[in-house]
Structure formats: C-alpha cells, structure tokens
Amino acid sequence: VGRGGWTWYTGSAGWMYRLILESLLGLRREAETLRIEPCLPAEWDGFRLHYRYRETPYRISVSQVRARAGGDRLVTHLTLDGVELEGSVIRLLDDRQEHLVQVSLAG
C-alpha cells in the first residue's frame, strides 16, 4: 500500500516529453522518416530544434507566418537543405552531414 504511485512519477516525465515532442511540436519518427506536423499556439512565432538521427544532426526551424489581410492564406512549406519537399515528411539519412530543415506554417 502506498507504493503504486512511484511508477506514475517516474513515467510521467517520459510521457510529458512525448506529448510535447509529438503533439505540440509535431515530430514523429516513422522508421527512417521524420514527419513534421506542428500544432502551435497562435501566439508562437515558431521554434528551433536540434535533432540527431544516429550520427547525423538535423537543425529544424519552424516558423509560423500570419495570414495576410484580405483573406490570402499562406501555404505550408517544407525544405530540406534548401530543396522544397511536398508533404510533411523527410527521409532521414545517416551520412554524418548536418542537414537544415525549414518549415513555414500558415498561422
């Protein structure tokens, strides 16, 4: 009696990490790909994250752009090393070279 709570305390940090990383920042690793689908509060301008896949660093920069007056909607863009990709998934490489990922979200 009274000892069952310990697993809650030790496990809660891991669950909070997953909640923030996956649900808020929208990063989900799926095999050898990384899906980036952030769900940011409207007040946030974005975030930067350093992600390492095996021996390869990825610098991820997400910016949330406000919609322009007049109803124009801005399209979400994803680039990997300056090359625009379709969708929200990048293929992860273990080439020991630093890669730059830029995401622009419509706010």
Domain residue ranges of the chain, discontinuous segments joined by +: 6-106
Q: What is the pLDDT of residue 16?
A: 83
pLDDT of the residue at 42 = 85
Q: Which fold has domain 6-106?
A: Maltose phosphorylase, domain 3 (2.60.420)
Lowest mean pLDDT among 7-11, 38-42, 53-57, 83-87: 7-11
Q: How far, in Å, CA of 84 to CA of 76, rounded?
A: 11
Mean pLDDT for 5-23 is: 77
pLDDT at 28 over 50: yes
